[in-house]
Amino acid sequence: MSAVTAAKPLLRLFRVVKSFGAVVALRSGSLDLHRGSIHALIGENGAGKSTLVKIIAGLYRRDAGDIRLDGREVDFGSTAESKASGIAVIYQEPTLFPDLSVTENIFMGRHPRGRLGRIDRRAMREEASEIFARLGVTINLDRPTQGLSIADQQLIEIAKAISLDAQVLIMDEPTAALSGVEVERLFAVARSLRDEGRALLFISHRFDEVFALCDTVTVMRDGSYIATTLISETTVDELVRQMVGRDVAELYPKLEAEIGEELLTVEGLNRAGAFHDISFSVRAGEIVGLAGLVGAGRSEVARAVFGVDGYDSGTVRIDGRPLPSGNPRVAMQRGLALVPEDRRKQGLVLDSSVARNMTLAIRSKLARRGWLTTAAENGAASIWASRLEVKTAYLDVETGTLSGGNQQKVVLGKWLATEPRVLIVDEPTRGIDVGTKAEVHRLLSELAQQGMGILMISSELPEVLGMADRVLVMREGRIAAVFDRADATPESIMHAATHDAEAVR
């Protein structure tokens, strides 16, 4: 690590490793947190930031490496242990008990007690109102947390950390769902906590926030530590270079495809609370990337287009003909396919065989007078299993036993078997190894070359940049920007995904 500060760090992680089966989530995570400092941790999705946080929080146990708190070696086996050592984690999605009051949420498990172990509600209330007064926030202490805005819920998480007297405070993308005013309020709180001598870790995708709030920044990439620099000594360009820095061409074998007529047209799609004024089209032979932060509403749009969920207004057309809302069966007949984000829950029947899964979407075609034979299933499945090189000994093994990459191939095979004209893929390479990733990319590229229209949702910038002919960027339920392949850069996409619409033209 570079000699950013000479003082002894409060929390030090050194070459921490964590893998899940064959997938290495964290190759070598290193991080130094100092008292009185706000430290930024940045990196693409999948760079290993969340894994690192979960190890500090005691949710995961590291496989190797060194963690020291105040110079002492620690190994947290549970969240309770990490909490007891003075570490508080605020997750992107606050984890509160929706039915319990604000006050109880702060003190759950640690209520102040009086005689007979009776909870001292008065002391509890007084401490809570004291904390909120210190934070300069007014919240009704007696209302249940259900229905509070994410911003208010995060303040409750912070209040929890303060009441714990946590010395290390980790905030995992706390601003993702906040408005400008709320971000300012959060920052003011964070600065005052820093001035009290606590160590803060701030994870964010928004560079302007990193530069406004933090004093030091650590970059991670592909599960590894890249660099730690003082904010005053770096620039956005430099950080982006560190984040992306790899050979894009090799992982993303983009083939030339002839772009034809419009296949899928979406106009003015709206659903309250999810997305607004969504208009775009996908043409034959084209791969359209849909980028944006997690929670920007991308998956919701995909599900609405395919008909899994409904929408309030707008139209979806295939070949110029309107598609009825909320009817996936018709969407499939008309040549639309959706490979969902969560393959284990939404894409596969894990207890069922590979062959069953691959023929799930074409059962009625395979059936003869209503009878479905294993021979017919295996025949149809083997075509796609071999084309996609699904690595399994037999087609009748349980799908749940396959690796993530092979499971994803099964889901792809299931939908390709329906011979779709437009394929929507939601995070097609999440959680799969690099080799299989490249295979999936090659496959998508070949499909486009054969004239299929592809809408690819991805949180991985290099994937979007490497594969897409056109990039749509969503931010907070709206399409914030559209880039052609030539104009799309990591900076421009990140900028559009994180800034107010006016700033992006």
Partner 1 sequence: MTSTRTTGDLRAPRPESTGRRIRRAAGYVFSARETGIAVALVLIVIVATARNPTFLFSSDGYRDLLLTPSILVLVAVGQAIVIITRNVDLSVGSVLGLTAYLTGRLFVDVPGIPIIAVFLAGIVFGGFLGLINGALVAFAKVPALVITLGTLYIYRGINVGWTGSDRINASDLPLDFRDLGTGQIASIPILTIIAVVVLVAAAWYMRNLRSGRELYAIGSDPAAANLYGLPVTHRVITAFMVCGALSGLAGVLFAARYGTVSSQAGTGWELQAIGAAVIGGVAISGGVGTLWGAAIGAVLLLTINRALPILGIQDFWQRAVVGALIIGAIVLDRVLALRQIQRLAEAKDETR
C-beta of 477: minimal distance to partner 1 in Å? 7
Nearest distance from residue 500's CB to partner 1, in Å? 10
Who's near 247: CB < 8 A, 6+ residues apart? none
Nearer to partner 1, 57 or 465 (CB): 57
Based on the number of CB atoms within 10 Å of its own CB, is 68 exposed (0-12), middle (13-18) or buried (19 or more)? Answer: middle
Token couple for 436: 């299989």
Do 248 and 465 form a contact (C-beta atoms < 8 A)?
Answer: yes
DSSP states of 182-227 as a string? HHHHHHHHHHHHHHTT-EEEEE-S-HHHHHHH-SEEEEEETTEEEE
* Cβ neighbour number for residue 270 with a 10 Å cutoff: 15
For the CB of residue 75, give the shortest distance to partner 1 in the complex, in Å: 15
Measured from the CB atom, the residue of 80 and 188 that comes closer to partner 1 is 80
Closer to partner 1 by CB, 44 or 104: give it.
104
Nearer to partner 1 by Cβ, of 153 and 406: the residue is 153
Q: Is 483 helix (H, G, I), strand (E, B) or coil?
A: strand
- Name the residues that contact partner 1, by CB under 8 A: 57-59, 78-83, 91, 95-100, 104, 108-111, 113, 117-119, 122, 125-126, 128-129, 132-133, 138, 140-144, 146-147, 149, 179, 272-274, 276, 476-477
Buried b (16+ CB within 10 A) or exposed e, 189-222: bbeebbeeebbbbbbbbbbebbbebbbbbbbbbb
Distance of closest approach, residue 289 Cβ to partner 1, in angstroms: 24
Q: How far is the CB of 133 from partner 1 (least distance, A)?
A: 8
Q: How far is the CB of 301 from partner 1 (least distance, A)?
A: 15
CB-nearer residue toward partner 1: 7 or 188:
188
- 68 or 125, CB closer to partner 1? 125
Tell me whether residue 225 or residue 275 sits nearer to partner 1 (CB atom). Answer: 275
Amino acid at 55: I
Token pair in block for residue 75: 């190994």
| Residue 462 beta carbon to partner 1: minimum distance, rounded to whole angstroms | 29
The CA distance from 186 to 241, in Å, is: 28
